[in-house]
Structure formats: structure tokens, C-alpha cells
Amino acid sequence: MSSATLAIRAIRGLSRGDEVDPMNLTKDQTAALVAAARAVQGRAYAPASQFRVGAAVLSEDGQTFVGCNVENASYGLTICAERAAVCAAVAAGVRRVAAVAIVTDLDDPARPCGACRQVLAEFGPSMRVLLAGHGDRVIEQSLADLLPDPFTFDGPLGPA
């Protein structure tokens, strides 16, 4: 069994399908989500940059979905790990995300790009963002801190 599968099972066992409170993730939930992202990071396809990123999203109902970055010779077609994880969640029917863990090999944890911040905001504007680099250090922030005023379908005139 892969380490990603084990990490995902650990998260499911902790949440037991209950609602996940993004403002109060437990230490075990945080560790398991980062472990799932770290496990899938090794599957990244990054022949040009060698910059491998893994991401794991935790839905509000306790499901976990992972994604890794996939580069393309036409750089604009590259898919970020965060968006890959969100797409996996959406394909499974998830519409609300409580947390995301993003893992890189940098010493200082990397932040998600602007496009990923916007996509994450679509599914959980108040989600917790866990950032991990090469070591054990994990930075925890809210998505609202990283993207304080996202574009939404709900504007001053109501839903589009």
C-alpha cells in the first residue's frame, strides 16, 4: 500500500466523516494532510523545472483528495498540484473544502500561485492552508490571509 493511501486512510479515520471545522484542525488532521501531500509529491511530473509539488485537500465532510503538479512543454498548460487536487475533489462531487496542504522541497515553504489561490477560494474562502517545505516546519494560514478579496460569482448585484 502506498504512503499516500496510508495517509489518506489516516485522515478518514480521524474525521470519521464528520464535518471538519477549518478553523480548528487537530494536530493529527494537520499531520495526516501534510503526509498525504508529501506522499503524492513524488509522483509530480516536472521534467523542466524539477520543482515537485504535492497537494492534499480535505473536504468539509472529511474526504481527502491529492494532486501533484504536471508540467508541459508548452509551459502555460502546466497544472499546479493545488488545482489538480481540487479537480479530483470536484470530480468526486465535493463542493466545499476545509483545508489544503501544499508541500515542496524548498527550505522555506512555498505559497500557492495566484491562480491556485483563486481556485481554492471558489471551494472554501475560509479554508486553512498548510504550507510545508523540506523539513518539519509547517506554516498554517487562512486562505483569506493569502487572498483577501477574491473574485466571486456573488457581486454587489447578486449572483451572476
Alpha helices in the chain (DSSP H): 3-15, 27-41, 81-91, 114-123, 143-146
Is 19 part of the annotated catalytic residue set?
Answer: no
For 121, the domain range is 3-151
Q: pLDDT tens digits for 21-41?
A: 777 889 999 999 999 999 999
CA–CA dist 22, 130 (Å, integer): 11
Which of 132, 140, 66, 67 is closest to 105 using CA atoms?
Answer: 132
15 located within any domain: yes
Tell me the CATH number at 7.
3.40.140.10
Does some domain include residue 156? no
C-alpha cell, 2 = 502506498
Q: Which of 71, 82, 122, 140 is catalytic?
A: 82
pLDDT of residue 16: 45
In whole angstroms, what is the distance from residue 120 CA to residue 115 CA?
9
- pTM of the prediction? 0.86
Q: How many domains does the chain have?
A: 1
